[in-house]
Amino acid sequence: MAYDDLRSLLRALERDGDLKRIKAEVDPHLEIGEIVDRVQKAGGPALLFENVKGSSMPLAMNVYGTDRRLLKALGLSSYAEISEKIGGLLKPELPSGFVGVREAFGKLGAMTHVPPRKVKDAPVHEVVLRGDDVDLDRLPALFTWPHDGGSFFNLGLTHTKHPETGVRNLGLYRLQRHDKRTIGMHWQIHKDSRNHYQVAARRGERLPVAIAFGTPPAVTYASTAPLPEDIDEYLFAGFLQGKRIEMVDCKTVPLQVPAHAEVVLEGWLEPGRTLPEGPFGDHTGFYTPQEDFPALTIDCVTMRRRPLLQSIVVGRPPTEDGPLGRATERFFLPLLKIIVPDIVDYHLPEAGGFHNCAIVSIDKKYPKHAQKVMHAVWGAHMMSLSKLVVIVDADCDVHDLHEVAWRALGNVDYSRDLTVVEGPVDHLDHASYQKFWGGKAGIDATRKWPEEGYVRDGGWPEMIESDPEVAAKVSRRWKEYGL
């Protein structure tokens, strides 16, 4: 079972020797970021900063910085466990396309241990601050990189709902602290919360927003999952956690938040009110420029007694984004196979920020099959943002980047096997010559067939492989060789 709240997970990590308490005073201006980045890149423990300069609130960092810790938080022994559970939702009907994905998740609602459960009283309401008592400077926001435009909260889970349909959205976005009561909402063009805000603005209405920190691990992960717009993240979190997530009504906005969160900010977005946000050292490893984004006024803060905050450091990979991205890659393989059934396996390298490159293996069945699949990948929900799609044969391990590079560098005639198109790219992409769209490439690194124009004498060459009998003999005698 996954952990019910952040505190119980931190206690378990400390028992395992996988959490380090930092008692020395540390500065949230650059110092904490430098410490966490070094520890994370070294594969070190979760960190609990107990004495953050300017704040009485401890700060938990690097909590999900290794696959081991994220799996422990979600109560899993491997990511394959959830892949298999998701795959089980798809049988025996074998649905297809995006409708099939929604039908599969629709089955979750029939599971009594999955839908969120509303409660009246909650630990997150033990302390309630309103009006002039609200002071965001008391919360440890991070100024992580030298050219950041200010201090940011990097792990606040943002709750909104569609003004017309009432459909809830839970998303993870960076949050710049503008002043004691104002937060900048970095809502990129493809995000559901941005759509909610635009609908409210067209209607001349304020949009209610609630931001939760230190939530149960399954909820934190669900906020990062690229779910279809009408799939409730709390339904998915309950599926991950193995039991219902407890929710409580906010004090001043018509939204619900996790009852066992550490801190919640509540407020309203006024139509058209924006402030310059950024620059920010992002997960791409580059600074994203300053832009105008909606500015949220915080009217109420609720929290547990003796609360703690949780955040992450993003920047040049590897960072804490890594385990979260790998979880998504594995969890959603069965769903991607519904949309693109040709796929055998896929890999989204962390070095590409999980969206710049997709390596896909297929069981090639007809000429130009690879080109068909790369276009299908570009049409599959958020996979549309992939800038490079590399197609390899099924006998290639897509997770072995050396093997993939050997195929991609050796199996390609770039005058024939390279496909270049234009399409949407991530809002944060700095390489495209304009925002939101740019060039993409697909590489066919599969074996080529005569029907595809490969008509050289002898056909496509065989790969070098050891003689099976000799290889087995050498394995048996290996100790005799003294090697």
**If DSSP states are collapsed to H, E and C, what string results for 79-116?**
CHHHHHHHHHHCCCCCCCHHHHHHHHHHHHHHCCCCCC
**CA-based R_g, the chain, Å:** 24
Instruction: Tell me whether residue 21 is exposed, middle or buried, using C-beta atoms within 10 angstroms of its C-beta: 0 to 12, 13 to 18, 19 or more.
Output: middle
- 88: Cβ contacts below 8 Å, ≥ 6 apart: none
**pLDDT value at residue 481:** 97
Residue type at position 457: D
**pLDDT value at residue 268:** 97
Residues of the chain with pLDDT under 50: 92, 94
- Bridge partners (DSSP) listed for residue 303: 127, 263
Distance CA 127, CA 139 (A): 14
**pLDDT value at residue 113:** 66
Report the length, in residues, of the chain: 483
CA atoms within 13 A on the CB side of 298: 30
- Six-digit token string for 74: 């979600």
Q: How far, CA to CA in Å, does 84 sit from each of 87, 88, 480? A: 5, 6, 43
Instruction: Tell me whether residue 42 is exposed, middle or buried, using C-beta atoms within 10 angstroms of its C-beta: 0 to 12, 13 to 18, 19 or more.
Output: exposed
- For the segment 307-328, what is each residue's pLDDT rounded down to a tens digit? 999 999 999 999 999 999 999 9
Please state the separation of Cα 269 from the chain's center in Å: 25
Contact call for residues 105 and 236 (beta carbons, < 8 A): yes
Instruction: Tell me whether residue 30 is exposed, middle or buried, using C-beta atoms within 10 angstroms of its C-beta: 0 to 12, 13 to 18, 19 or more.
Output: middle
- The DSSP H or E segment spanning 8 is helix 6-15
- Six-digit token string for 236: 């998915």
Distance CA 356, CA 52 (A): 36
Contact call for residues 311 and 177 (beta carbons, < 8 A): no
Angle at alpha carbon of residue 246, lines to 243 and 248, rounded to 5°: 165
DSSP tag of 431? S
DSSP string, 16-47: TT-EEEE-S-B-TBTHHHHHHHHHHHTT--EE
Taking alpha carbons only, the member of 46, 38, 53 closest to residue 140 is: 53
- For the segment 222-234, what is each residue's pLDDT rounded down to a tens digit? 999 888 776 789 9
Which domains occur in the chain, in start order? 6-91+114-310 (2.30.110.10), 340-452 (3.40.1670.10)
Distance CA 53, CA 172 (A): 26
- 314: Cβ contacts below 8 Å, ≥ 6 apart: 144, 154, 281, 282, 283, 320, 321
Q: How far, CA to CA in Å, does 468 sit from each of 201, 464, 471, 480, 481? A: 68, 12, 5, 19, 19
Distance CA 448, CA 463 (A): 13
Q: Where are the alpha helices (DSSP H) in 90-232?
A: 97-106, 192-202, 217-224
**pLDDT value at residue 103:** 66
- Six-digit token string for 259: 């009852």
**What is the pTM (predicted TM-score) of this model?**
0.90
Residue 127 — φ and ψ, nearest 5°? -130, 130
**pLDDT value at residue 355:** 87
Note if the bond before 95 is cis, omega within 30 degrees: no
- Six-digit token string for 358: 């997709």
Whose tokens are 């590897």? That residue is: 318
- 90: Cβ contacts below 8 Å, ≥ 6 apart: 100, 104, 334, 338
Note if the bond before 279 is cis, omega within 30 degrees: yes
Distance CA 306, CA 149 (A): 30
Question: Strand runs (DSSP E) across 167-241, as ranges?
Answer: 168-172, 175-179, 182-185, 207-213
Contact call for residues 244 and 116 (beta carbons, < 8 A): yes
Helices (runs of H) and strands (runs of E) counted in the chain = 13, 24
Distance CA 292, CA 310 (A): 26
- Enzyme catalytic residues: 282
